[in-house]
Amino acid sequence: MKPIAFENGTIQIDAAIVAEGLGVAPARLQEEMRAGRITSLAERGVDADLGRHRLTFFAEHRRFRVVVDETGAIVQRSAVDYGNALLPKSVRKRG
């Protein structure tokens, strides 16, 4: 699998990329997502950002975001560690 791929209207991202961005072990990522402790948001670009997608992942104290183009190439990535401050529950609950 490519690191980021589009298939049947969904976006698939390699778990190792997300785990690294959130600072968790790859083996723990799926478990944390199933438990709702790691959540995600996918947004499709419009106007000047048409063809791009922004994928954001939220953990207890971290936010990881990647912006990809229509081929799945990563255009931008960023991670923010909020230290001891917890992210709001609104971004940590299942959507």
2-60 per-position pLDDT tens digit: 788 888 888 899 999 999 999 999 999 999 999 999 999 999 999 999 999 999 999 98
Give the pLDDT of residue 52.
94
Give the pLDDT of residue 95.
46
Over residues 54-71, the mean pLDDT reads: 93
Give the pLDDT of residue 84.
83
Specify the higher pLDDT residue, 50 or 85: 50
pLDDT category of residue 82 using cuts at 50, 70 and 90: confident
**Which residues have CB under 8 Å from 29's CB, separation 6+?**
15, 18, 19, 22, 38
Of 13, 6, 14, 64, residue with least CA distance to 38: 64
Give the pLDDT of residue 91.
61
Structure tokens at 89: 């529950």
